[in-house]
Amino acid sequence: MEKQNDTICALATAAGKGGVSVIRVSGPQAPAFCRKLTGDTPEPRQVSLSKFHAASGELIDSGLSIFFPGPRSFTGEDVCEFHCHGSPVVVDQLLARLVEFGARLARPGEFSERAFLNDKLDLTQAEAIADLIDSSTVQAARHAVRSLQGDFSRLIRNLVAQVIELRVYVEASIDFADEEIDFLASGNILARLQALVSAVDLTLAQAKTGSLLREGLRVVIAGAPNVGKSTLLNALCGQEVAIVTPIPGTTRDMLQREINLDGIVVHLTDTAGLRQSDDPVESEGILRARKALAEADHVLLLVDAANVDDFQSLPVWQEFAALPLHQLTVVFNKIDLHQMPPMIQPATVPQKLFLSASTRAGLDLLKQHLKNCAGLTPATDGGFMARRRHLVALAGAKESLKQAIHCLEDLKAGELVAEELRNVQKQLDEITGKFTTDDLLGAIFSSFCIGK
């Protein structure tokens, strides 16, 4: 990260006309710039009525100024805020004046980034600020506030503390080479590793709910050509979004629509039918369909109801061999042609659902099923906001824990257990930002808006 000894400034309120605009300045020169702009030495944490002057001495505006000396400020540095009238012209003049003094216009997210670098916030809290501002439902806002208050960070720190305790024990055992395994057995390491897997699982489930509120559920409709994928998309959207014909290979590009199921945003993607094709356009569509499948939260594999008994011998089934099966529902379509009732078999692997996209029989079952897949219930309301990168890190930590159990039980190798536990800690530390790379920080903060 570049050095933070410069002083940055930006408009902190929304751009455009309004009652009041707030300009934020952070860095060692902030109080000096305040003195130059207002002619007064600012009193810490007191609101002063100020006049803001141009270089010529002419009045730009009058308003309020506040000085928050570091480290008791948002960024942990000296911070000044100037409240002026909400005029873009006034704001431009004040910012130009600050730049004249030697301030630099802040990059997107730079205030939050400094707060993070000065340990005022951890990474999940900094992200929660952006999520709170971006939230589009009350529920999402509540989850973001809880993350901002540190609920999520506390859970992660608690997990890390348990991992460290285990690491200390396991690493100590390596020094007793002869009795290493006895030593590990007496420490009940296996039971503690298993308890940690359960704890990570629980956090992962809560984080999934949070992430869902932020990002929505990504559902991909896939299958062979002509099974009724586009018809199903249209039925779920309640409008004719996709072209439906009896000709196989009609859909070539991906079609995406958002639907709202009782407050859960579902991003639906209709894809090109999966088959071998010599048509370059259709082939590209199929390539994209496979990519969408890999990124989906849930896949609806559409199959003609004629294939109820032999769907696993269809070529399209091979496409799904690599998918984790809990993300997959096989939807048998066109039941109207086979005199079958709409129904769901949620306990089978994979789960099965029977409907008719064109008569809409069973469509309600599918909507309810998608809501269940999202796992969003009133019971999960105490949760926090989470992002996809948090889910990836938690899933990685769980994988390393399972690996550690394998190293202990099957390989009886304490050193490998220690190595896996190091990985677990690193992945958990990535969530709160205790372990980070500049790339990760750059990617996170650059998605913030300026002045945040």
Q: How far apart are CA 245 and CA 366, in angstroms?
A: 23
User: Which of the stretches 4-12, 224-232, 340-348, 411-419 binds ligand GDP when contact is defined by CB under 6 A?
Assistant: 224-232
Please tell me what DSSP assigns to residue 381: G
Per rule CB under 5 A, count of chain residues that contact Mg ion: 4
* Minimum CB distance to ligand GDP, residue 373 (Å): 21
* Minimum CB distance to ligand GDP, residue 290 (Å): 16
**Residue window 412-451: x/- pattern of binding to ligand GDP, with contact defined by CB under 6 A:** ----------------------------------------
Q: Cβ-count burial of 246 within 10 angstroms (0-12 exposed, 13-18 middle, 19+ buried)? A: exposed
Residue nearest to Mg ion (CB): 251
Please tell me what DSSP assigns to residue 88: H
**Residue window 358-387: x/- pattern of binding to ligand GDP, with contact defined by CB under 6 A:** x-----------------------------
H/E element, 450:
none
Cis peptide before 350 (omega within 30 of 0): yes
> In this structure, which amino acid lies at residue 74?
F
Under DSSP, is residue 442 helix (H, G, I), strand (E, B) or coil?
helix
H/E element, 65:
strand 59-68
* Minimum CB distance to Mg ion, residue 227 (Å): 9
* Options 20, 161, 337, 411; binder of ligand GDP; rule CB under 6 A: 337
> In this structure, which amino acid lies at residue 125?
Q
Q: How far apart are CA 417 and CA 409, in angstroms?
A: 10
Q: Which two tokens stand for residue 13?
A: 């309120």
Other C-beta atoms closer than 10 Å to the C-beta of 411 total: 11
* Minimum CB distance to Mg ion, residue 286 (Å): 12
Of the candidates 197, 202, 213, 160, the one whose C-alpha atom is nearest the C-alpha of residue 384 is 213
Residue 252 makes contact with ligand GDP by CB under 6 A: no
* Minimum CB distance to ligand GDP, residue 330 (Å): 14
Residue 26 makes contact with Mg ion by CB under 5 A: no
Residue 251 makes contact with Mg ion by CB under 5 A: yes
Of 175 and 278, which CB lies nearer to ligand GDP in the complex structure? 278
Please tell me what DSSP assigns to residue 307: G
How far is CA 208 from each of CA 251, 345, 351, 421, rounded to the nearest angstrom? 31, 24, 20, 23
* Options 42, 109, 228, 414; binder of ligand GDP; rule CB under 6 A: 228
User: Which of the stretches 40-48, 166-174, 354-362, 400-408 binds ligand GDP when contact is defined by CB under 6 A?
Assistant: 354-362
Of 231 and 329, which CB lies nearer to Mg ion in the complex structure? 231
Under DSSP, is residue 354 helix (H, G, I), strand (E, B) or coil?
strand
Of 207 and 233, which CB lies nearer to Mg ion in the complex structure? 233
* Options 19, 57, 246, 341; binder of ligand GDP; rule CB under 6 A: 246
Residue 230 makes contact with Mg ion by CB under 5 A: yes
* Options 13, 118, 250, 423; binder of ligand GDP; rule CB under 6 A: 250
Of 228 and 383, which CB lies nearer to ligand GDP in the complex structure? 228
User: Which of the stretches 228-236, 337-345, 358-366, 440-448 binds Mg ion when contact is defined by CB under 5 A?
Assistant: 228-236
Other C-beta atoms closer than 10 Å to the C-beta of 414 total: 24
> In this structure, which amino acid lies at residue 192?
R
User: Residue 205 in contact with residue 395, Cβ under 8 Å?
Assistant: no
Q: Are strands 48-53 and 351-354 parallel, antiparallel or unpaired?
A: unpaired
Other C-beta atoms closer than 10 Å to the C-beta of 24 total: 22
Of 130 and 303, which CB lies nearer to ligand GDP in the complex structure? 303
Is the alpha carbon torsion for 47, 53, 55, 60 positive or negative?
A: positive
Residue 153 makes contact with ligand GDP by CB under 6 A: no
Q: Which two tokens stand for residue 91?
A: 């704001």
User: Which of the stretches 16-24, 183-191, 241-249, 380-388 binds ligand GDP when contact is defined by CB under 6 A?
Assistant: 241-249
Per rule CB under 6 A, count of chain residues that contact ligand GDP: 21
Of 61 and 282, which CB lies nearer to Mg ion in the complex structure? 282
Q: How many CA atoms lie within 13 A of 85 on its CB side?
A: 10
Of 129 and 303, which CB lies nearer to ligand GDP in the complex structure? 303
Residue 125 makes contact with ligand GDP by CB under 6 A: no
Q: How far apart are CA 128 and CA 150, in angstroms?
A: 9
* Minimum CB distance to ligand GDP, residue 221 (Å): 8
The pair phi, psi for residue 433, each rounded to 5°, is 90, 10
Query: Taking CB within 5 to 8 Å according to partner kind, which of Mg ion, ligand GDP, none is near residue 345?
Result: none
Q: Where along the sequence are the contacts to Mg ion (CB under 5 A)? A: 229-230, 250-251
Q: Where along the sequence are the contacts to ligand GDP (CB under 6 A)? A: 223, 225-231, 244-246, 250-251, 273, 333-334, 336-337, 356-358
